[in-house]
Chains A and B, each alone.
Chain A
Amino acid sequence: MKTNKGMIASAALLALTVGIGPAYADKKYDTGATDTEIKIGGSGPFSGPASVAGQMVKSVAAYFAWINTKGGINGRKINYIAEDDTYSSAKAVEVTRKLVEQEGVLLMAGSIGTPTQLAVSGYLNDKKIPQLFIATGNSAFYDPKVHPWTIGNSVTTFTEGVLIGKHVGQNWPGTKVAVLFQNDDLGKEYFAGVKQGLGDKAPIAASVSYEVSDPTVDSQIATLQSSGATIFISLSTPKATSQAIRRAYDTGWKPKMIIPSIVAQIQGTLAPAGLDKAVGVITPTFIKDANDPHWANDPATIAFLDWMKTYDTQVTDTALAIAGYDAGETLAEILKECGDELTHENIMKHASNIKAFHPSLMLPGISVTTTPTDYRVIHQMQFESFNGKNWELYGAVVTDAD
């Protein structure tokens, strides 16, 4: 009897061991992942004319350095290798191949640069290596049909256009709208979104394009002003936006002006035009502005600013630091969910099934969601208005779904 009991106990133990056995065998790794380390690659411009943008990638690196001091993710240290691509597509291809073929990274993440990342997305998709959380709104980075292994980390340019259009339609129905847009992918995608968002709520009285090579946009402003519009949506890059703000003010037009989130930097865009001339300018956002006194007592903002002071010391641009921190946070969450199955496939499975994850610096009420058929991570934004010193949030969160 006693022996029997012992045998049953042994058998039970054996069964348990067998039961646990497959769980250990479930540790699955692709190149770049081990029991102690996950290798991740990133690229951005650290030198040359666009080097400011590279601060975002440096911030991603700083984020993981910080995570490592806290023990890493699921016991693994993150080895984030950032390379300088000088914002040149040829160079981006070179450093990405090096990261994949020589360094053997598990995935590429947290890079910046629309043309440079587009140049490598074909290569990475062919190799089935995830290309995650790039700081760009270009819709090409959010399309599972074209690039199943690529997901960006921003609101798409089109979605943002839709939200701007909806906001105008809801708040100023029937008011004449003037639109200035950069004559390229970026400007056209914004404009297409704005048109859809406006619908028939408000008429577009005039729309004109400008070229990046135009020394000024004065002539375009004259055309728009003459249309009699009182709302002015400027879908432009920083320099042209500064010029537009200044010119629209100097000629006495003074319309209600809306600019996209990518150019809403106080120092970079509004200051050149003159902060007094930019009072009342509106922009959408999905992120907490760490410089805004509104968030001075927000624990997440305080934690971020402390982190920036201690870990992100090479970075001067707060907006880019936030972008890097935010990409790092979402990526860390996904890697945590992946557990011990660190394969390309599993990472993509989790990255394309994010259910309302709320990174700490995202505005309340806005979260990250993806599905295998819809990679657009962000669908909501809130609007803010410039008061001469900082941006002030107002109104409710606007969402692109009706």
Chain B
Amino acid sequence: MQELLHQLATGVSSGGIYASLALALVMIYRSTGHVNFAQGEMAMLSTFLAWTMLDAGAPYWAVFAVTIGMSFLAGALIERLLIRPMGGKQEMLMVTVFLGLFMICNSIAGWVWGYDTRPFESPFDSLAFLQNPYEGPHDLGAMAVTMILMAALFLFFQFTRTGLAMRASTENPTSSRLVGIAVGRMFGLGWGMAASVGAIAGMMVAPTVFLEPNMMATILVYGFAAALLGGIDNPWGAVIGGYIVAILENLLGVYVIGNEMRMTVALVLIIGTLVIKPEGLFGRRNVVRV
């Protein structure tokens, strides 16, 4: 019984990790209609940027804010320089660009910072009232950050003018242009925001998995499974998806299929979702009139 509680608790903390990256994937999908495979690597680069500032002695929350801002600019810049010239039409072309971006980010991090594992500061570790036998203080803090982020994204897409404009640009670029929405600017904004969400995910994940260029590589698979399972156009669906993936992975890994098969759980969930319910558990079904 005690073990089951521990497994559920670790499932929740891993779920938080997956959920935070899943949110970045939702952000980019919602605003551009693409799934960016390099999202995790971009987040990793942002985290290295934050590490450099922290290492130089800057205070945590200032670094947090500056990293989000700089990631936003970098994301928007990537959209303008790399993505927009592609026209965003051919799926295969986009996939290739994303994979290229993945490798470029990974190599840049290795080249600039090296491949050593480094510690990353957590703002929550020193909070004594968060001490408990099941979750580390950082896990609880990171979970709170993920929840706030999720609520913010949900409100942004649902209730703000910009959020609606962004959704419209993805759904129907031509009509959006006709009603006066600057579609190109919306895509840039989407990339920037996704990079910012990724930066937050990176800074929340790094204290647990430690910072190195390959930090996000495997998390991306789980984050992708989480986003798909919850519905890739739905922020709270993605977060719930993250918790389901992690808890399922833990319980199946420990009690049923064995620890060797953990990643298989995520992969089966990805394929299973795509085959059986492509819109995910909480996503909206795409209905097209013909």
- Which A residues lie at the B interface, using CB under 8 A? 48-52, 183, 208-211, 213-216, 218-223, 225-226, 238-239, 242-243, 246-247, 250-252, 267-269, 271-274
Contacts and interface: CB of A to CB of B under 8 A. Distances in A.
A349 B147 CA distance: 67
Contacts of A216: 10, 14, 17, 208-209
Contact of B260 (A211, A219, A222, A252): A211
Given A214-B263, A215-B222, 8 more contacts: A215-B14, A216-B10, A219-B253, A222-B9, A222-B254, A223-B254, A242-B117, A271-B119
A221 B250 CA distance: 12
A187 B152 CA distance: 44
Contacts of B156: none
Interface in B10-69: 10-11, 13-14, 17
Interface residues of B, number: 38
B3 A226 contact: yes
A219 B250 contact: yes
B267 to A, nearest CB: 11
25 contacts: A49-B213, A51-B115, A52-B115, A52-B116, A211-B262, A214-B218, A214-B259, A214-B262, A215-B222, A216-B10, A216-B209, A219-B10, A219-B250, A219-B253, A222-B7, A223-B254, A242-B210, A243-B210, A251-B133, A251-B134, A251-B136, A268-B116, A269-B117, A271-B119, A272-B118
Interface centre among B218, B250, B259 (most CB of A within 10 A): B259
Interface of B: 2-3, 6-7, 9-11, 13-14, 17, 110, 114-119, 133-134, 136-137, 208-210, 212-214, 218-219, 222, 249-250, 253-254, 259-260, 262-263
A194 B250 CA distance: 27
Contacts of A210: 259
A198 B101 CA distance: 50
Nearest to A212: B218
A211 B263 contact: yes
Q: Rank and list the top 10 A-B pairs by shortest CB-CB distance, nearest first.
A: A226-B3, A222-B6, A250-B136, A218-B10, A272-B119, A272-B210, A219-B250, A49-B115, A213-B218, A219-B10
A219 B7 contact: yes
A219 B110 CA distance: 29
A117 B51 CA distance: 35
Contacts of B2: 226
Main secondary structure on A side of the interface with B:
helix
Nearest to B223: A215
A272 B118 CA distance: 6
A250 B210 CA distance: 15
B117 A219 contact: no
A48 B260 CA distance: 28
Contacts of B9: 222
B13 A218 contact: yes
Contacts of A271: 119
B6 A251 contact: yes
A225 B263 contact: no
B112 to A, nearest CB: 13
Contacts of B212: 239
Contacts of B114: 51-52
A239 B260 CA distance: 18
